Chain A
Amino acid sequence: MLSEVFQGPEMGEFIIIRDTACYSGRRLLKYYINSALKREESVHVLGFDVPEHELRAKLDSSHLHLWLCKDAFALLHMDIHQQGIVECLTHLASTVISVRPVNNTRYAVATTSHRKKSRKVMQKEEFFSLTEDLKLSTEIKPNQTGNVQADLHTKSEMDPTSNLTFNLCLSEVERAEKEKVALPFVFSEEKKSSLLRPGRGSGRIMYEPDSNDDIDDEDPDDDLDV
């Protein structure tokens, strides 16, 4: 996605590259300037940060300094501005690329979020590296680290059932027999029907009314004519 950011058919993009002191985003910016120059587009640079000769180094500078606004690119040092300002600028941009370093590698991570004209937001995280002569190579997601970790896990995982004093495994016959056994308290169709049918041998309540069962508290002697 990094390499496609600048090649889409949409016009009038505003793209922000956000970096911190740990990793400079300037080379990525130079890569984009260079790729614009290679397509023979005119690029106008407002350099607030570094002198011109540094920026010009390694750029194909024949087309530099001509006015023609198609896309706007900006480099923003996130860590020296207040959070609010950074976020305001981020909202203005149609594409935000945040770069940060990865420990001890020549790769860095770029998180790109792109808002299309249709308001669809696309987000992607990529590993990238830039060579001396501003060639970009990208890699999708942390392949190496992920794989290495996975390998380590599989190696360290031994079969836990191998050294046991009892048998945890089932043969096919055993498994078939086990599945035949109906477990208690499982509500099968048979049980259900036997419970619903009023069987002959099932219990019945026999009740013969007794005179003592019917005592009225307000008339204990049963002699009032209420």
Chain B
Amino acid sequence: MTVFDELQQAIINGQAALAKELTKKGLDSGKKPRDFFPNAIIPAMDEVGRRMRECEFFIPEVLIAARASRAATDLLRPLLVGDEAVQAAGVVVCGTVKGDLHDIGKNIVAMMLESAGFRIVDLGVDVAPEKIVQAVKDENANVVALSALLTTTMVNMKGSIEALKAAGLRDKVKILVGGAPVTDAWANSIGADGYGKDAPAAVELARRLAATA
């Protein structure tokens, strides 16, 4: 097994310490920081996504795998700064909408997007529309990902989209929405660009949308 294969396994198994160690080992042996993503981290999280979809992995397994992935990316990110050949897949501003404090689902999506090569600006929970607008401006984001877990707070997704429109930023970003009560029909009705029914779907969607943004 190559060090990339070993790292991929360590991430899938959720072994954060081992993932960190293997990343160091790879760097020491002369592997380029940017090569870790297509050869280990992205395929690992794709596999995690597949296992999640097939009910093999549940929230705890996904979270520990994401933590292991982060152990690797934390080492790699600083080394990528200034590498002209590396371009982030996109900049995603994400958060749970105003009035809602649920963040497990949002965190899983954020960590998976990060492993897929996106730069994440996580605004946390109970996020007011103004904060989203500000972050899109400040970070020059091209994707906004909104989460809500309650039928009563999901209406605030609409308010966030309208705030982006009012600020003249709507055409600059692609908006994806998700969360237990959210449906495709709801996403369409509020003028979002897409709905991800689970974290892997959100990653796929973000990849597709960012390519056209």
Do A and B make up one complex?
no
Interface residues of B (CB under 8 A from A): none
